[in-house]
């Protein structure tokens, strides 16, 4: 094509979506529902090696459900992770790039089909490159504890994130999504890295939360947001993969702590057992509850809303329906 489509900014998308853009839902969850086995240190990123077609299929299912933003398959895709299973650095970098191109291809395919259908109610989706926390890479559940041990300092976290960030940025996603950040140090590392690498792709930084009040490390969100609030490169902050019943009060808290856009995409309420590597039942939201609460979350000030682990395309369909056409619900 001889021209480049004008890039839709995050703010434009939110406006087009009626004040709140819908993020997709549990990516790994949907892979597993299709039979993928991801009990592996690479977790959902294993499919980049084993079954890239399935990744694209899941992206398409979330688009069909009404997602305005696709989060890529790179949450647990890291260069040290790929190296430790015998891949070369070059192969690892190609897989990271592929995580973005799979989502972009799904988005383009879906949009080409939808555009031919006058009267459709979809928006052209944006692709957010997922950047899972250091704890995700450790694969020991520490994205929900924030306990990285005494040897992990700011420089080590920046070193961990740097090359992956560079490679993902080179693949030209629309957004960057830092996910399940569990402590202040890692939030600071992400912000400093965006600055040092002069990254101009808009980012969001999301924290996990296990007590409904603080970051998993026990540090207050006020402490965690200090560095983020000083950065123009971070457009939105919020919470992902925390229980949905925490979200209302966390949005109110974040509203007091920041002027940035607020992003929330909770899990179903089930709790991850990092040792047994499985989800334990707990107080959960079904799709109907997500539908009711999505409106409240939006009214309280969230402008990016979706689902995380254990939510599915039907969850996203419920959220999308109520946010885009409240009268119909
Ligand atoms: C968001 S958690 C459920 C991802 C998996 C975890 N990092 C692990 O590998 O155990
Ligand atoms: N986006 C991730 C989950 C983050 S907790 C995935 O499903 O791969
Ligand atoms: Zn999750």
Band of residue 327 on the pLDDT scale cut at 50, 70, 90? low
Determine the atom of ligand 2 nearest the C-alpha atom of 44.
8
Hey, which residues does 127 pair with through a beta bridge? 70
What does the mean pLDDT of the chain come to? 96
Say if ligand 1 is within 6 A of residue 148 CB: no
- Distance (Å) from CA 141 to ligand 1 centroid: 6
Query: How many Å from the N-terminal Cα to the C-terminal Cα in the chain?
Result: 40
> Which protein residue's CA is at the shortest distance from atom 9 of ligand 1?
139
Is the pLDDT reported for residue 252 higher than 80?
yes
- At residue 171, the pLDDT reads 98
* pLDDT > 90: percent of the chain: 96
Instruction: State pLDDT tens for residues 96-122.
Output: 999 999 999 999 999 999 999 999 999
- At residue 320, the pLDDT reads 98
Is the pLDDT reported for residue 6 higher than 90?
no
ipTM value for the complex = 0.98
Instruction: State pLDDT tens for residues 198-215.
Output: 999 999 999 999 999 999
Determine if the pTM surpasses 0.90: yes
Listed by start position, the domains of the chain span 19-328
User: Is CATH 3.20.20.330 what the domain over 19-328 is classified as, yes or no?
Assistant: yes
Instruction: Please tell me the distance from the alpha carbon of residue 119 to that of residue 314, in angstroms, as a whole number.
Output: 22
- Distance (Å) from CA 122 to ligand 1 centroid: 31
Is the pLDDT reported for residue 5 higher than 80?
no
Torsion angle of the four alpha carbons 59, 69, 107, 25, in this order, in degrees rounded to the nearest 10? 10
Residue 137 tokens read as 């890479």
Band of residue 328 on the pLDDT scale cut at 50, 70, 90? low
Is 241 annotated to bind a ligand? Reply is yes
Say if ligand 1 is within 6 A of residue 136 CB: yes
- At residue 325, the pLDDT reads 80
Instruction: State pLDDT tens for residues 137-150.
Output: 999 999 999 999 99
- At residue 1, the pLDDT reads 39
Helices (H), the chain: 10-16, 27-33, 46-50, 52-65, 79-83, 89-115, 134-138, 154-170, 184-196, 221-229, 247-257, 287-300, 313-324
- At residue 7, the pLDDT reads 54
- At residue 43, the pLDDT reads 98
Band of residue 4 on the pLDDT scale cut at 50, 70, 90? very low
Is the pLDDT reported for residue 3 higher than 50?
no
Say if ligand 1 is within 6 A of residue 277 CB: yes
Query: What does the pLDDT average to over 304-326?
Result: 95
Query: What does the pLDDT average to over 249-265?
Result: 98
């Amino acid at each position: 094509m001889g021209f480049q489509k004008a890039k839709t900014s995050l703010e434009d998308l939110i406006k087009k979506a009626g004040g709140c853009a819908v993020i997709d839902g549990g990516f790994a969850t949907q892979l597993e529902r299709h039979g993928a086995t991801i009990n592996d240190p690479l977790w959902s990123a294993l499919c980049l090696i084993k079954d890239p077609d399935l990744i694209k299929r899941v992206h398409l299912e979330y688009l069909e459900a009404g997602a305005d933003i696709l989060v890529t398959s790179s949450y647990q895709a890291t260069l040290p992770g790929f190296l430790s299973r015998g891949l070369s650095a070059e192969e690892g970098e190609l897989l990271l790039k592929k995580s973005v191109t799979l989502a972009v291809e799904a988005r383009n395919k879906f949009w080409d089909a939808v555009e031919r259908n006058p009267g459709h109610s979809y928006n052209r989706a944006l692709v957010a490159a997922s950047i899972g926390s250091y704890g995700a890479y450790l694969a020991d559940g520490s994205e929900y504890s924030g306990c990285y041990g005494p040897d992990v300092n700011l420089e080590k976290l920046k070193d961990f994130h740097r090359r992956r960030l560079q490679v993902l940025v080179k693949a030209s996603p629309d957004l960057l999504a830092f996910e399940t950040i569990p402590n202040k140090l890692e939030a600071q590392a992400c912000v400093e890295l965006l600055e040092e690498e002069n990254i101009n792709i808009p980012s969001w930084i999301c924290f996990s939360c296990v007590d409904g009040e603080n970051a998993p490390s026990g540090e207050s969100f006020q402490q965690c947001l200090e560095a983020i609030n000083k950065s123009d490169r971070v457009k939105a902050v919020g919470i992902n993969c925390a229980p949905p019943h925490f979200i209302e009060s966390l949005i109110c808290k974040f509203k007091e702590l920041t002027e940035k856009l607020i992003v929330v995409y909770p899990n179903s309420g089930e709790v991850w057992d990092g040792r047994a590597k499985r989800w334990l039942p707990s107080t959960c939201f079904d799709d109907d509850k997500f539908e009711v609460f999505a409106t409240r979350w939006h009214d309280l000030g969230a402008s990016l809303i979706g689902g995380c682990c254990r939510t599915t395309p039907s969850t996203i369909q419920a959220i999308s329906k109520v946010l885009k056409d409240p009268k119909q619900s």
